[in-house]
């Protein structure tokens, strides 16, 4: 008797956006890595390790960033049709990317593929508007499942629901933002990171910001409390990437200066560089008034 494992194919896509003439903006090498894509990939790896879909199901994970990779819906659909089950998650979708996400979703839904959308547009509009945003409603009308909030500790529920063909129209975790200490690390395979200029990957040492700038969406989505990774977590992220020859990190904190653990994290990074002689660099955005 053969011991056949079923395959569930999870395809994570970070959509790009359209230019003024309606073309998808795309580069041979994109500038900024998508931390949402890395976070979801890391969480999916953890789900695969924990066999959240059962011992007899292999969770196969694909990750694509449309800013550096052409997305062909037929090919994406084939990754799922070639498995026993699966779904597409359009991740980290911001407002200017939502029209593109809807177009990708529409063409996948026509092929009968299960699709979910998460990111700042879904989360931000649900947090700030009294009614569902019209574009978000369009997604729901297509049968796309919506995810608001952050996926730490929640991805396995969505995967199980998809595997059982019982995906809910909306997963709303906006009032329950997760702690990050000990959470799965953001990680992407080197072959995806090499598609960014300078082979940069991302590191979110923390999320949330205590300030209340009137123009800021971040605090409506990631909250005003500093949630942070431990120094051990950050060391694991650095070592995992060095092991695949990736040495450059874009720190994506909303406000690293207000990350309550900044000093312990930087002390650990100094120890790794100066104590152990590990070679790695950081990029961080500095806004000044
Ligand atoms: S994240 Fe930046 S823009 Fe937003 S509230 Fe904090 S300091 Fe202001």
Residues 158-172: pLDDT tens digits? 999 999 999 999 999
Q: Can you tell me the distance from the alpha carbon of 43 to that of 149, in angstroms, rounded to the nearest whole number?
A: 14
pLDDT at 289 over 80: no
Residue ID of nearest Cα to ligand 1 atom 1: 254
Segments forming the whole domain that contains residue 277? 205-283
Domain containing residue 91: CATH number: 3.40.50
What is the whole-number distance in angstroms between the Cα of residue 207 and the centre of ligand 1? 11
User: Residue with structure tokens 């309550």?
Assistant: 260
- Tens digits of residue pLDDT in 22-76: 999 999 999 989 999 999 999 999 999 999 999 999 999 999 999 999 999 999 9
For residue 52, the Cα-to-chain-centroid distance in whole angstroms is 19
Nearest ligand 1 atom, CA 254: 1
Q: Are residues 12 and 131 in the same domain?
A: yes
Q: Can you tell me the distance from the alpha carbon of 122 to that of 134, in angstroms, rounded to the nearest whole number?
A: 11
* pLDDT for res 3: 63
Length reported for the chain: 289
Nearest ligand 1 atom, CA 209: 6
pLDDT at 2 over 60: no
- Answer yes or no: is 181 within a domain: no
* pLDDT for res 217: 85
Cβ 146 under 6 angstroms from ligand 1: no
pLDDT at 178 over 60: yes
- Answer yes or no: is 54 within a domain: yes
Q: Are residues 168 and 209 in the same domain?
A: no
Cβ 194 under 6 angstroms from ligand 1: no
Cβ 128 under 6 angstroms from ligand 1: no
Nearest ligand 1 atom, CA 215: 3
Q: Residue 281: which H helix or E strand, with range?
A: strand 281-283
- Tens digits of residue pLDDT in 258-283: 999 999 999 999 999 999 999 999 99
Domain containing residue 221: CATH number: 3.30.750.210
- Answer yes or no: is 186 within a domain: no
Instruction: Give mean pLDDT, residues 175-181.
Output: 95
CB 10 within 8 A of CB 60: yes
Percent of the chain with pLDDT over 90: 94
Cβ 221 under 6 angstroms from ligand 1: no
- Tens digits of residue pLDDT in 82-99: 999 999 999 999 999 999
User: Residue with structure tokens 């597409």?
Assistant: 88
For residue 17, the Cα-to-chain-centroid distance in whole angstroms is 16
Q: Domain count of the chain?
A: 2
- Tens digits of residue pLDDT in 179-212: 999 999 999 999 999 999 999 999 999 999 999 9
Question: Could you tell me the strand order of the sheet in which 145-148 lies?
Answer: 57-65, 6-14, 85-90, 115-118, 145-148, 170-172
Q: Which of 195, 150, 202 is nearest to 176 (CA)?
A: 150
């Amino acid at each position: 008797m053969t011991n056949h494992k079923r395959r569930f194919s999870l395809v994570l896509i970070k959509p790009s956006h359209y230019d003024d003439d309606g073309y998808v903006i795309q580069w041979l090498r994109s500038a900024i890595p998508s931390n949402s894509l890395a976070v979801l990939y890391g969480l999916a790896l953890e789900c695969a390790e924990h066999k959240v879909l059962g011992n007899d199901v292999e969770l196969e994970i694909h990750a694509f960033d449309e800013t550096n990779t052409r997305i062909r819906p037929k090919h994406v659909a084939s990754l799922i049709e070639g498995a026993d089950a699966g779904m597409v998650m359009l991740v980290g979708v911001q407002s200017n990317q939502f029209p593109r996400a809807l177009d990708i979703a529409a063409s996948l839904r026509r092929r009968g593929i299960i699709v979910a959308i998460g990111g700042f547009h879904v989360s931000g509009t649900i947090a700030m508007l009294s009614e569902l945003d019209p574009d978000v409603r369009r997604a729901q009308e297509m049968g796309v499942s919506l995810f608001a909030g952050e996926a730490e500790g929640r991805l396995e529920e969505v995967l199980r629901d998809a595997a059982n063909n019982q995906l809910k129209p909306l997963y709303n975790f906006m009032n329950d933002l997760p702690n990050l200490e000990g959470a799965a690390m953001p990680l992407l395979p080197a072959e995806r990171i090499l598609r960014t200029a300078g082979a940069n990957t991302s590191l979110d040492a923390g999320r949330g910001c205590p300030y209340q700038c009137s123009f800021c969406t971040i605090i409506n989505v990631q909250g005003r409390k500093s949630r942070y990774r431990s120094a051990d977590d950050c060391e694991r992220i650095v070592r995992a990437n060095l092991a695949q020859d990736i040495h450059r990190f874009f720190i994506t904190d909303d406000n690293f200066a207000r990350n309550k653990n900044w000093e312990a994290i930087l002390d650990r990074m100094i120890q790794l560089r100066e104590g152990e002689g590990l070679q790695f660099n950081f990029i961080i955005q500095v806004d000044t008034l």
